[in-house]
Structure 1
Amino acid sequence: MNIYNVLPLCLCTLFTFASSYSPEAMRDLVTDLPGQSHVSFRHFAGYVPVDKTNGRAMFYWFFEAMSYPNKKPLVLWLNGGPGCSSVGYGATQEIGPFLVDNKGNSVTFNPYAWNHEANILFLESPVGVGFSYSNTTSDYKKIGDDFTARDTYAFILKWLERFPAYRDTDFYIAGESYAGKYIPELAEVVYDRNNVNSSPHIKLKGIMLGNPETSEAEDWKGWVDYAWSHAVISDETYGVISKFCNFNSSTTWDVKECKDAVDEVLKQYNKIDQYSLYTPTCIKNSSVNSFVDSTRFKTNFANSKMMPRLMGGYDSCLDDYTRVFYNRADVQKALHASDGIQLKNWTICNDDIFDNWADTKPSVLPLYKKLIAGGLRIWVYSGDTDGRVPVLGTRYCINKLQLPIKTAWRPWYHKKQVSGWLQEYEGLTFATFKGAGHDVPSFKPSESLAFFSAFLNGVPPP
């Protein structure tokens, strides 16, 4: 099958489905994205206001399923950071149908796009990320977990008014990294509001989280243990951390020996791509020499609620390519992000949001328990070469839930090859991706699409 000629929709289905979109939605239809090949599905992009008083609006990019969108679920995808763009990462580096090319000049078709299986909605969240904005400066000092969950819930309701065809569609939330906090927090808001008679009902069925930040103490311990077990740090550094760091205590950063030893871990990781231990870093060429860009590291030990952030990925130069692409006048105009004259300054991550994050839950494991009790499907997966939110930390988090084991640890397969390992618990499925870094679909596109399909169908991978 030619990947560019996806099965067309039945004209009657297309007409009926299109008629249930609002005029406002049709104004968001993207018709002239630079470099886009011919496809049969439609996509929409634009702003949805979430607070008219303060002038907050969130930017989205929505892709209909490649076939029969009226019969397939709606999936909201969120990236983390906090402060990083789901449009820049998820949509055009990972799971969207159009991936930015290696110069930022155009897009190429992604044969493993997740809109094979679902209608996919990418959101730049919270305001201040990507094209999303607030006209009230003080809003940017209030942004944290709770603020983000409330605004995202408001966005969903407003978006469903614009696209009412999806009001009765099964709804899932998926994402990765710091979205490991966003997703269960948002799911709790949806779950609670669904139980209020006066609130619109959203058919939330489940959540899927990739390499997710989950519980601070376990994530920190897993981060250190993984660095040691993968020969990134010395026995001596690991010994100091084991002796002086208590990640269950917020005062552990007051202990000089602990802070200095953790700084040593950061120093070693700064020489490689923490998000993908075994792939090259982005090397920028100049007329004199080449150098590794080690400036993309962010952490804040004065406020230890944040894990360190170091941008990277399978092609760690992709961040630069997306920056070029989304700052083009023709791209911004095509996506209704600007008029193509007064351009927005788009960045893949907003450091100010990371530095000024107002609140974060030390652990979302209690939310896991609540959502499991509520009958939601929860799948968690880990790329096993990610040093940033490593598989060890995620296993420590899941083990803390003490869930009964339903199916013992086993390999799972794709195209007759072991793709990773999997264990089913009562209420949760955990899987690894062999040889994948932090942004799993960038490393294992075919496998991740198969895994996503299994998740939606509620059946374990083969």
Structure 2
Amino acid sequence: MSHQTIYSVSVALCLCTLFAFVFSDSPEAMRDLVTDLPGQSGVSFRHFAGYVPVEKKNGRAMFYWFFEAMSLPNQKPLVLWLNGGPGCSSVGYGATQEIGPFLVANKGNSFQFNPFAWNHEANILFLESPVGVGFSYSNTSSDYKKIGDEFTARDTYSFIQNWLERFPAYKENDFYIAGESYAGKYIPELAEVVYDKNNENSSLHIKLKGILLGNPETSEAEDWDGWVDYAWSHAVISDELYGVIKRSCNFSSNTTWDVKECKDNIDEVINQYHKIDQYSLYTPTCNGNSTLSSSLDSTRFRTNLGNSKMMPRMMGGYDPCLDDYTRVFYNRADIQKALHASDGIHLKNWSICNDDIFNNWTDSKPSVLPIYKKLIAGGFRIWIYSGDTDGRVPVLGTRYCINKLALPIKTSWRPWYHEKQVSGWLQEYEGLTFGTFKGAGHDVPSFKPSESLAFFSAFLKGVLPALSPQ
């Protein structure tokens, strides 16, 4: 099917009767069934969207969009996809820019079908996490001042439990967690909570099998070193600036941000990256003249060095204006009503990233490498991949992080192939597999959709992608 196929007027009321599923759906689940999404015609799967409460006292609820597998959903795994930020929407990025079956098109006015959607291989659940991201919310304003890694992991675990009560047929499906960027911290932290809770109470057992992480933030010292080294090795900064940073910055030290020379020169790296798309070094930036594009120019760059060691965030991607188009799309009344995000009259103000969350993040683990060791010892499958043209969480930093684990090598560094072409390089360790995507930026599936689907399929099967042309 062509990647350019555009769906026309919806006849999606047929979705309820087109396919005979073995699942027994709860009334709550059926209320979330999406039947009138503008631009969607009949498809070979059902999808659901809505709110799941995660904490009653303060009134916290999280928004999800769930796509059943295109075939045999009762037999295929359930995969939770998380984007990072922190403060960015998995519905805005993962679902409609990367791996979902419907990709935003025509400046936010329509969809196009994604022939490389990951629900070819699994049931995919997108979650806007934590509250304050996208449509997810709390009725207690003080909650937004407490949001951090632990808060997010706890609420997301509560979401999974409550979602499985709404969709009980999936309790027996194998469960995986996947995502990218700051979800490199969310995902191991959530996996650890699931692992610990499973050991505490078998009646709440979640069949977690593994995690998949793309261009993940992992360990601050190694991530920062990789960020600087990558900028220098890709000619973004001068030899002189690089030398000063290497001399004045010790990213392993808690006091490095007290060193003015270090902070000033890191700011200069950020200034250079502000001129291009840090997330994709070799693609253009968005130069649209729309009111929306110009209004976003001043917020496109965020850093949080004032109160933490969190790395800078700039909006970006393969189509440099996709973030703008996605914002248009999710603020449409007909879209919000179809997805049960609002009644279509009293609209929610949706943004792809919540900068207040990013700038007020209360806790961030310096490193999740100890959790990696725990999950490896627990026998979980861990795969990591890196787009090698991403300057935000570059391949160098990820390699530095993996090297810190000092894992024995099972399969040495070599190319992996898709459709007889080298798609990247791969190394398999005892307990972890790492692969790169040649020519891909931060949101790898946006750049390499076919290759990403093949890599994802290999991950679910627990076998390496092709290591020779076939």
Whether these two folds match at TM > 0.5 is yes
Partner Cα distance (1:63, 1:83) in 2? 23
Q: Is the 8 A contact 1:193 1:199 kept in 2?
A: no
- 1:271 equivalent to 2:256? Answer no
Partner of 2:210: 206
- 1:69 equivalent to 2:73? Answer yes
Deviation at 1:2, TM superposition (A): 7.8
Q: Is the 8 A contact 1:29 1:44 kept in 2?
A: yes
Partner Cα distance (2:32, 2:290) in 1? 41
CA distance change for structure 1 residues 310 and 69 in 2, over 3 Å: closer, same or farther? same
Deviation at 1:199, TM superposition (A): 4.5
Partner of 2:10: none
Structure 2 unaligned spans of 5+: 6-14
Matches within 5 A, 1:35-434: 35-197=39-201, 199-285=203-289, 293=297, 295-434=299-438
Partner Cα distance (1:336, 1:377) in 2? 35
Partner Cα distance (2:90, 2:19) in 1? 30
Partner Cα distance (2:281, 2:447) in 1? 12
Partner Cα distance (1:61, 1:319) in 2? 18
Give every structure 1 segment of 4 or more consecutive aligned residues whose post-TM-superposition deviation is greater than 4 Å. 1-4
Aligned counterpart in structure 2 of residue 31 of structure 1, from 20, 23, 35: 35
Partner Cα distance (1:135, 1:44) in 2? 24
Q: Is the 8 A contact 1:66 1:116 kept in 2?
A: yes
Report the residue type matching 1:122 in the other structure. Answer: F
* Between 97-106 and 181-190, the greater mean CA deviation after superposition: 97-106
> Partner of 1:381: helix, strand, or coil?
strand
Partner Cα distance (2:152, 2:303) in 1? 20
Deviation at 1:35, TM superposition (A): 1.2
Partner Cα distance (1:80, 1:407) in 2? 30
Partner Cα distance (1:116, 1:329) in 2? 29
Identity %: 85
- Residue by residue over 1:119-152, the C-alpha shift from the partner in whole angstroms, topping out at 9 and shown as x without a partner, is 0000000000000000000000010000000000
CA distance change for structure 1 residues 423 and 444 in 2, over 3 Å: closer, same or farther? same
Report the residue type matching 2:27 in the other structure. Answer: P
- Residue by residue over 1:360-407, the C-alpha shift from the partner in whole angstroms, topping out at 9 and shown as x without a partner, is 100000000000000000000000000000000000000000000000
Structure 1 unaligned spans of 5+: none
Partner of 2:22: 16
TM-score with structure 2 length normalisation? 0.94
Partner Cα distance (1:118, 1:397) in 2? 29
Report the residue type matching 1:344 in the other structure. Answer: K
CA distance change for structure 1 residues 376 and 281 in 2, over 3 Å: closer, same or farther? same
> Partner of 2:329: helix, strand, or coil?
helix
Deviation at 1:40, TM superposition (A): 1.6
> Partner of 2:237: helix, strand, or coil?
coil
TM-score with structure 1 length normalisation? 0.96
